[in-house]
Amino acid sequence: MLHFSDLFQYTDVFLSGLLTTVELTLLTTILGIALGTCCAAIRQYGHTVSQRLVAVYVELIRNTPFIVQLFFIFFGLPAIGLKLTPWQASMIALTINLGAYSTEIIRAGLSSIPKGQIEAAKVLGMNFRQTLTRVIFTPAFEKIYPALTSQCIIVMLGSAVISQISVEDLTYAANLVQSRNFRAFESYLVTALLYLVLAIALRFIFNQIGKRLFAYREVR
């Protein structure tokens, strides 16, 4: 039989774990997209050498498991003198991970902008930075916004792994609770549902933000 009532006394544990997951997700979403935007701009418009470097970064991250990246950063980097707390290591790993995926996504957005738009900005006398921020970014981001936000949610779900280096996130809370009350199925089920709620909530929030950001579509 299932006994969910045994979980109520651990509400605090779950909540604090949830909070850590939310906190890390928000932080890495912002940092990861910023990183991805820079890398995408370099990949699209930069010099050959820097383009190659970004390509190597993106392919390395996209073709290795997140948990290995996390272990490499947390266990491996101290060996060369870079000591990190579990929280710092997680944040860096998540940011680098999201950064690589969002680079590819944002680049697709950038290359979807017709050449004529850039030429029109040029003949109006705008410089490269003005063209990028005023003319290219908004339509490019609008095009890839759904893909980008889905990726953020995927990274949030992937963050469950950071419990393995004892960051006290939602999964860590689940492990803690089930080790105390031996109700593994119930704890993990509740935790899975909490992640689901978080994913749905994030998607809703992203949609609302999207509506604001790209409001001009709604005016019609």
Residues in contact with other proteins by the rule CB under 8 A: 59-60, 62-69, 71-72, 75-80, 114, 116-117, 119-128, 130, 134-135, 138-139, 142, 153, 157-161, 164, 171, 174, 178, 182-185, 188-189, 191-193, 195-196, 199-200, 214, 216, 219-220
For the chain, the first-to-last Cα distance in angstroms comes to 56
Cβ neighbours for 11, distance < 8 A, ≥ 6 positions apart: none
Shortest reach from residue 208's CB to other proteins, in Å: 18
User: Closest CB to other proteins among 1 and 49?
Assistant: 1
| H runs (alpha helix) in the chain | 11-45, 48-62, 66-71, 86-111, 115-123, 128-130, 137-158, 170-181, 184-213, 216-219
Shortest reach from residue 129's CB to other proteins, in Å: 10
Shortest reach from residue 79's CB to other proteins, in Å: 4
Cβ neighbours for 115, distance < 8 A, ≥ 6 positions apart: none
Shortest reach from residue 35's CB to other proteins, in Å: 19
User: Closest CB to other proteins among 34 and 113?
Assistant: 113
User: Closest CB to other proteins among 9 and 185?
Assistant: 185
DSSP structure class, residue 104:
H
